[in-house]
Structure 1
Amino acid sequence: MKVDRKRLIQVVQIARRGMGMDDETYRDKLRMQYGVSSTTELTEAQLLELRNELSAGARPNGTRRFRPAAQRSDQRYVYALWGELEREGGAKIAGRPGLQRFLEDQYGKSAPEMMTVQETGKAAEALKAMIRRAKAAKKEQLSAS
């Protein structure tokens, strides 16, 4: 049975959007998984595999957000620390855009996956200091009330 390539690409894109995956994350996934940067560069077999993978996680209303797991533990730790900073109220911009802005401003990198082990270590230490300051400010605010 001949697969309509154009239709298959459309289905993949619909599933990607259904997961709430942005273009940058999607292209990173393509590079890591298939070694290409565009859907049009995939073979039919790869398109079918990708469609099945994305369709399994897609929700019709896009409620599930795609969060790729970082490969190294130090990268995951940076994400976890950013989440803690958000919960403490110390992040000016919430979510991935806030982390991206912080990393670009401080290290010139857009994500922990783009950083060396030394850079993620420095970022982790900076985030821990920010968390301590946020906790102290929160505590001070509570005692002043």
Structure 2
Amino acid sequence: MSKRALQRKIHVACGQLGYDQETRHDIQLAVTKKASMSDMTETDLKAVISRLEADGWTGSSTKGKRHKPAPRADLRYVHVLWTLLGDAEKLKSPGRDGLNAFVRSRFENKWQSVPFDIDSLRDAGQINDVTRALKDWCMREGIQTEMQKTPAKRRLLK
């Protein structure tokens, strides 16, 4: 890892730990006897990072770790159906990995090849197969998948 990347990592860690610039300088002095990161070697920077990890920094954050929305509306609907089943506690593994495992187990004998990730599906027929299977599952479990039109809405639509 480059010196600049290590310096950025230190700044991120200090920000997540709530340390201000003065505290960061104190830590740098205590660990490396150098106040400025530009004077430090890669080994010095790694030592500062180790100290920040000892202070409780994990090096990862849940912020910004979400997957991008699926590229197609029909794939996004598959995710919505899976979420409905998960919210109703009908799934063993309600996350994205569970959805991918469902697709593999359900369709690997039907399709020539099954994608590693649901969002890489491009064939409309395959996406429809997954949607239909999830809608049928929701129906069996009594989970509403479509917005019901109330009598008032029907009058407005006429």
TM-score (ref. length: structure 1): 0.49
Greater relative contact order structure (CA < 8 Å, 6+ sep): 1
TM-score (ref. length: structure 2): 0.46
Highest Rg: 1 or 2?
2
